[in-house]
Structure 1
Amino acid sequence: MKEQILGVNVNTENYDELIPKLFANIDTKKKSLVVAINPEKLMKAKDDPALKALLNRAEFQIPDGIGVIIASKLRKGNIESRVTGVDMMDRIVREAAKTGKSIFLYGAKPGVAEAAARKLTDTYPNLQVAGTLDGYEQDTQKVLNAINEAKPEILFVAMGSPKQELWIEQHRDNLYPTLYQGVGGSFDVLAGNIKRAPAAFQKVGAEWLYRLILEPSRLKRQMNLPKFLFEIIRQNK
Structure 2
Amino acid sequence: MKEKFLGVDVSNYTYAQLKENIMSDINERRKSFIVAINPEKILHAQKDADLLHLLNRATYQIPDGVGILVASKMTGGSIRERVTGIDMLLALCEQASLHAKSIFLYGAKPGVAEQAKDRLKSMYPDLQIAGVLDGYEKDKEKVKETINHAQPDILFVALGSPRQEYWIVDHMHELDVQVFQGVGGSFDVLSGKVKRAPDSFQKVGLEWLYRLIKEPWRIKRQIKLPTFLLKVWKDKK
- Output the TM-score relative to the length of structure 2: 0.99
Quote the sequence identity (%). Answer: 55
Q: Which residue does the alignment assign to 1:191?
A: 191
Q: In structure 1, what is the Cα distance between the partners aligned to 2:163 and 2:92?
A: 22
Q: Which residue does the alignment assign to 1:151?
A: 151
Q: In structure 1, what is the Cα distance between the partners aligned to 2:78 and 2:155?
A: 29
For structure 2, list consecutive stretches of 5 or more residues without a partner in the other structure: none
Q: In structure 2, what is the Cα distance between the partners aligned to 1:46 and 1:73?
A: 21
Query: 2:128 matched to 1:131?
Result: no
Secondary structure in structure 2 of the residue aligned to 1:10: strand
CA offset digits 1:132-169 (Å, max 9, x no partner) = 00000000000000001111111000011110010011
Matches within 5 A, 1:35-74: 35-74=35-74
Q: In structure 1, what is the Cα distance between the partners aligned to 2:137 and 2:189?
A: 22
Q: In structure 2, what is the Cα distance between the partners aligned to 1:152 and 1:199?
A: 31
Matches within 5 A, 1:86-235: 86-235=86-235
Q: In structure 1, what is the Cα distance between the partners aligned to 2:32 and 2:236?
A: 32
Query: 2:14 matched to 1:14?
Result: yes
Q: In structure 2, what is the Cα distance between the partners aligned to 1:62 and 1:214?
A: 25
Post-superposition, which runs of at least 4 consecutive aligned residues in structure 1 deviate over 4 A? none
Secondary structure in structure 2 of the residue aligned to 1:144: helix
Using the TM superposition, give the Cα deviation of residue 236 of structure 1 relative to its aligned residue in structure 2, in angstroms: 2.7
Q: In structure 1, what is the Cα distance between the partners aligned to 2:204 and 2:234?
A: 25
Q: Please provide the CA RMSD for this pair.
A: 0.7
Using the TM superposition, give the Cα deviation of residue 205 of structure 1 relative to its aligned residue in structure 2, in angstroms: 1.0
The aligned amino acid for 2:188 is D
Using the TM superposition, give the Cα deviation of residue 106 of structure 1 relative to its aligned residue in structure 2, in angstroms: 0.2
CA offset digits 1:62-96 (Å, max 9, x no partner) = 00000000000000101011000000000000000
For structure 1, list consecutive stretches of 5 or more residues without a partner in the other structure: none
CA offset digits 1:161-205 (Å, max 9, x no partner) = 110010011011110110000000000000001111111111111
Aligned residues: 237
Q: In structure 2, what is the Cα distance between the partners aligned to 1:81 and 1:128?
A: 29
The aligned amino acid for 1:41 is K
Secondary structure in structure 2 of the residue aligned to 1:208: helix
Q: In structure 1, what is the Cα distance between the partners aligned to 2:233 and 2:169?
A: 33
